[in-house]
């Protein structure tokens, strides 16, 4: 057993089709749905998102992200002894996207499973992997967030379809003698299920209900700002740190106004906030590892920096992880 787990490599992948707000507005206009670049930018900060081709699944996006992360960590697929994929848009009902990904990576035998906590999924997955490494169940984990949210969008609902995109992010999390993950804090409150859900299921070979995303944006907004502040403070307290110790805040990338509000509540200057929502949209469980990888590869976040990751989403679920990179 080793006392700590640490991120040793990051990777990400966006499908090539980039759709700007103007592109989307044009496509929606053909359906009689009215929106504009101005509305989307003002309310969310989103300028573009990526959409996967119809034959591309979450595991395909995850595969690219994992290869980049393994390369960055200087590891090969043969070193991997745990795969956790956070997704709400799996390739199939079963088996898990993690099992499908394992096969695409060309390995077999190690545990592989999905975590379903919607936009908090990566925070949940990272916390689970950290615990498994600390208890000696694994030494080298691939922790992934991968989504094809475009599949569950209602393109007749302008209040939601302009917000989301597809993508994947991954980290290699390894057993370490020096601290990496310092503390985490996870929560769920199922009484809010109705404000953000895909209220469909499969039964007897039929889709029952509506297999498209439904969201009460304002209710989600209010809850998100409150719980993100609470989770950050709880995580800092567990680690014996204060907000002043944070070098980078990487929240779930859903809405620039929520992210800036969270930074303000923590009294963090805007320069410490990593923002990718303008170019990715909301990629749900993929958004945090995508933003982390962009910041690492862009030279913003460096080895030794203290990073606060924060997620919030359907369930309601929320949580945070404080780590030294």
Which is catalytic among the residues 119, 161, 214, 280?
119
Q: For ligand UT7, which is the closer residue by CB, 246 or 258?
A: 258
Q: Which of 66, 162, 172, 246 binds ligand UT7 (CB under 6 A)?
A: 162
Query: ω into residue 173 within 30 of 0, thus cis?
Result: no
Q: Are 274 and 250 in contact (CB under 8 A)?
A: yes
Q: Which of 12, 255, 276, 283 binds ligand UT7 (CB under 6 A)?
A: 255
Site string for ligand UT7, 56-95 (x = CB under 6 A): ----------------------------------------
Per the structure block, which two tokens stand in for 44? Answer: 């969310």
> What is the size of the binding site for ligand UT7 (CB under 6 A)?
19
Q: For ligand UT7, which is the closer residue by CB, 180 or 261?
A: 261
Q: Does 183 bind ligand UT7 (CB under 6 A)?
A: no
Which is catalytic among the residues 50, 68, 214, 252?
252
* Catalytic residue list contains 192: no
Q: Are 67 and 80 in contact (CB under 8 A)?
A: no
Q: How far is the CB of 86 from ligand UT7 (least distance, A)?
A: 13
Stretch that binds ligand UT7, among 142-150, 205-213, 229-237, 252-260 (CB under 6 A): 252-260
Q: Are 312 and 222 in contact (CB under 8 A)?
A: no
* Catalytic residue list contains 252: yes
Q: Does 117 bind ligand UT7 (CB under 6 A)?
A: no
Q: Does 258 bind ligand UT7 (CB under 6 A)?
A: yes
Q: Which residues contact 170 (CB under 8 A, 6 or more apart)?
A: 10, 11, 12, 62, 65, 66, 68, 69, 142, 143, 144, 145, 289, 293
Q: Are 317 and 117 in contact (CB under 8 A)?
A: yes
Q: Does 119 bind ligand UT7 (CB under 6 A)?
A: yes
C-alpha separations of 17 from 20, 63, 173, 249, 279 in Å? 10, 18, 30, 28, 12
C-alpha–C-alpha distance, residues 202 and 219, integer Å = 28
* Catalytic residue list contains 21: no
Q: For ligand UT7, which is the closer residue by CB, 34 or 71?
A: 34
Q: Which of 10, 12, 21, 44 binds ligand UT7 (CB under 6 A)?
A: 44
Q: Are 15 and 56 in contact (CB under 8 A)?
A: yes
Q: Does 137 bind ligand UT7 (CB under 6 A)?
A: no
C-alpha–C-alpha distance, residues 320 and 25, integer Å = 34
Taking residue 152's Cβ as centre, other Cβ atoms within 10 Å add up to 19
Residues that bind ligand UT7 (CB under 6 A): 35, 39, 43-44, 119, 158-159, 162, 196, 217-218, 220-221, 224, 254-255, 258, 282, 313
**Which are the catalytic amino acids?**
119, 252, 282
């Amino acid at each position: 057993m080793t006392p700590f787990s640490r991120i040793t490599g990051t990777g990400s992948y966006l499908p090539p089709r980039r759709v700007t707000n103007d592109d989307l507005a044009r496509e929606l206009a053909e359906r009689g749905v009215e929106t504009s670049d101005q509305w989307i930018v003002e309310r969310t900060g989103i300028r573009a998102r990526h959409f996967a081709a119809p034959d591309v699944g979450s595991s395909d996006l995850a595969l690219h992200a994992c290869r980049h992360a393994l390369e960055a960590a200087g590891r090969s697929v043969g070193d991997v002894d745990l795969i956790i994929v956070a997704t709400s848009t799996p390739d199939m009902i079963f088996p898990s996207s993690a099992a499908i990904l394992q096969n695409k990576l060309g390995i077999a035998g190690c545990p592989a499973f999905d975590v379903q906590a919607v936009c908090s999924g990566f925070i949940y997955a990272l916390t689970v992997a950290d615990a498994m490494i600390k208890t000696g169940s694994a030494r080298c984990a691939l922790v992934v967030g991968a989504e094809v949210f475009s599949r569950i969008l209602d393109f007749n609902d302008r209040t939601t379809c302009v917000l989301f995109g597809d993508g994947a992010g991954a980290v290699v999390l390894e057993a370490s003698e020096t601290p990496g993950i310092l503390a985490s804090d996870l929560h769920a409150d199922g009484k809010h299920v109705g404000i953000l859900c895909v209220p469909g299921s499969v039964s007897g070979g039929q889709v029952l209900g509506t297999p498209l995303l439904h969201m009460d944006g304002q209710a989600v907004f209010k809850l998100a700002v409150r719980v993100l502040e609470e989770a950050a403070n709880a995580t800092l307290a567990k680690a014996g740190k204060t907000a002043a110790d944070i070098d980078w805040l990487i929240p779930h990338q859903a809405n620039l106004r929520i992210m800036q509000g969270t930074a303000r509540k923590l009294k963090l200057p805007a320069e410490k906030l990593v923002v990718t929502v303008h170019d990715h949209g909301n990629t749900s469980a993929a958004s945090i590892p995508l933003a982390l990888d962009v910041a690492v590869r862009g030279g913003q976040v460096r080895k030794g920096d203290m990073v606060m990751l924060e997620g919030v989403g359907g369930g309601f679920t929320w949580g945070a992880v404080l780590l030294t990179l």
